[in-house]
Chain A
Amino acid sequence: MHIVVCIKQVPDSAQIRIHPVTNTIMRQGVPAIINPYDLFSLEEALRIKDRTGARVTVLTMGPPMAENSLRKALSFGADAAVLLTDRKFAGSDTLATSYALTSAIRKLAEEEPVDIVFCGKQTVDGDTAQVGPGIATRLGLQQLTYISSIDSVDTQAREIVVHRRSEGGVQVLKTALPCMITMLEGTNSIRFGSMDDMFRAARTPLRVWSKDDAAADETKVGLKGSPTVVSKVFVPKPKAEKAKFIEAEGGTADAFAAAAVEAIFAAQPKLSTDLLARAAQG
């Protein structure tokens, strides 16, 4: 078994601030982390490794500093890491990104066929949930998104059974390998790697691939390979009016509450009739 886990290094968005004057993103000092959603998929891959002895390769496309995220993934227990990095990839949208990653996965598969590709449910910076389905479609993998549990992986019969979240319930799906899986958040939590893994993570040579190493077609990556164009970036419009502050005589909670009820019913007469009608019934 060979499993590839696609991870993305993202800025820790909880710490992103917008410059109040220039409206630009202040990235300085914002730490980079592995996209949190990817860790649920990595952990699931490592669990399959525990059960079946599968090899786990982590793959990322990004700038050279994304090496940190790959080393982190190795320290959790991944076996090998590939950094796909090339100026030509800059500006890739999801279609171009899934193409570039697919090229690298094809290359990896030449060495050892790939049985499962894991992606995160979505990224916290791109937040599109499109790259996983893009990879699955390009490679002709069975697509299993929003997976809440993997019930069984039969390496002999090459079958997998999963629970997939859908509207109003869970689908139990059975399919054949190879497949692409995105895990739902909260389904597991990433392990601490062993001491051995930590040492290995520091020593393991990273494979650093360019566009040519991955045999990616130049016209299909970067801005050129991206059908979408960002035409505008802007700060959400502030509302013209601020809230009307409710005044209350004496400032007691009861006085505020009474004034608020009046203000609500004055602003929404329909609401008051609805509520009164409901109260009258029950």
Chain B
Amino acid sequence: MSEPSKPQGRKFQLPEHLKVYKDVWVIVEQERGQVHSVSLELLGEARKLADKLGVAVGAVVLGEAGPDLERICGDAFAYGADVVYRVADPVLKDYRTDPYCRVMTDVVNAYKPEIVLLGATTLGRDLAGAIATTLATGLTADCTELDIYMENRSLAATRPTFGGTLLCTIQTLAYRPQMATVRPRVMAMPERDDSRTGRVVDVFPALAEDSVITKVLSFIADRERNEAQLAFADIIVSGGKGLGKPENLKLVFDLAAVLGGEVGVTRPLIQAGWATADRQVGQTGKTVRPKLYIAAGISGAIQHRVGMEKSDLILAINTDKNAPIFDFAHLGIVGDALKILPALTDAFSRRLSVNRLAS
């Protein structure tokens, strides 16, 4: 496809005063002492980008001073940071847009990173949009691939567009920093390396609780944490409309149980009320990357594909040998899922129990 012609009146050259912007940063998300895994995934990605550019990886860790914050600073080094910007302040204990945005704007203006990455989570998306506006720079949401175009040292951020049917690559050429968000599980988790250390830069923000209008009255923790389980499951068995009736979803649950895996579904099943929304895999659901993904009665629409194609091994079961899922699955069975699923459940349980007797 030809490149769109460069429109009139736009700036494509980086102005001289922005050339001092260096380093690739990740804003490390932590809430209630828990670091969000997407931040660690992003540190791995930042490492690759920074190595290409020959610059350092910076991690910004914000929160209340204490052992949790110290541990998270250590995590940041272990996953790839060279420098940790530690911003400890009681006002930053719970996430609120305004103080976080104020601090981040100041830190970016002071230390001038050329790239700033955040997770596309409820925190990251909320914060990224606010910071990009105060800094008047470009922000690309929900990227699936990040790269550097060396000819102009710019970030090439690729994301799905038009409901996932196409991909587009977006660049911020004449503004700094270049910002992007990435959804959890889209990037691989880097190996933890506890021997890595680096420099800590303490930032002392001028924040007063009185100046923050929004107050956190309370926090109601979720009782079920299906979400995390699905995103991090090693084995996922998913069902689609090809299962025909809601009762048949049980066949998927049975196989998942034998394999110690989780159950995923396609969007039409959520819309029909067969399962809860936290089980949806795909562009508007979860991104997953299990070791084994079994897709039963799923056509393989692009919106589903983008959420699961990074699975190590995909087995698809579909009656239609021309179903698009067979274009990207590794293994395929052309057959009726209603018959194959119970047979698989049997075959796996037999294989696994034989071994138990033997061991």
A residues adjacent to B (C-beta < 8 A): 13-14, 16, 18, 23, 25, 91, 93-95, 98, 124-125, 127-134, 136-138, 142-146, 161, 163-176, 186, 223-224, 226-236, 238-239, 242-246, 252-254, 256-258, 260-261, 263-264, 267-268, 270-271, 274-276, 278-280
Q: What is the CA–CA distance of A254 and B225 in the complex, to the nearest angstrom?
A: 35
Is B188 in the interface zone, CB < 8 Å from A? no
Q: Which residues of B contact A261 (CB under 8 A)?
A: 344, 347-348, 351
Is B328 in the interface zone, CB < 8 Å from A? yes
A145 & B122 in contact (Cβ 8 Å cutoff): yes
B140 & A278 in contact (Cβ 8 Å cutoff): no
Q: What is the CA–CA distance of A222 and B331 in the complex, to the nearest angstrom?
A: 47
Q: Which residues of A contact B166 (CB under 8 A)?
A: 18, 23, 25, 233-236
Question: Known: A13-B162, A224-B9, A232-B168. Contact between A264 and B331, CB under 8 A?
Answer: yes
B123 & A228 in contact (Cβ 8 Å cutoff): no
Interface centre among A128, A226, A228, A243 (most CB of B within 10 A): A243
Q: What is the CA–CA distance of A125 and B134 in the complex, to the nearest angstrom?
A: 24
Is B65 in the interface zone, CB < 8 Å from A? no
Q: What is the CA–CA distance of A18 and B324 in the complex, to the nearest angstrom?
A: 15
Q: Which residue of A lies closest to B339 (CB)?
A: A253
B140 & A145 in contact (Cβ 8 Å cutoff): no
Question: Known: A13-B162, A137-B133, A260-B344. Contact between A238 and B327, CB under 8 A?
Answer: yes
Q: Which residues of B contact A276 (CB under 8 A)?
A: 352, 355, 359
B residues adjacent to A (C-beta < 8 A): 1, 3-4, 7, 9-10, 12, 29, 31-32, 34, 36, 94-98, 101, 121-123, 125-126, 128-130, 132-134, 136-142, 156, 160-163, 165-175, 213-222, 225, 228, 234-235, 259-260, 277, 291-292, 302, 305-306, 312-316, 321, 325-336, 339-340, 342-344, 346-348, 351-353, 355-356, 359
B214 & A253 in contact (Cβ 8 Å cutoff): no
**What are 20 contact pairs spanning A and B, CB under 8 A?**
A124-B163, A125-B163, A127-B161, A129-B125, A133-B97, A133-B133, A161-B217, A169-B220, A224-B9, A227-B138, A233-B169, A236-B166, A243-B314, A243-B316, A243-B326, A246-B333, A253-B339, A256-B335, A261-B347, A275-B260
Q: What is the CA–CA distance of A93 and B129 in the complex, to the nearest angstrom?
A: 12
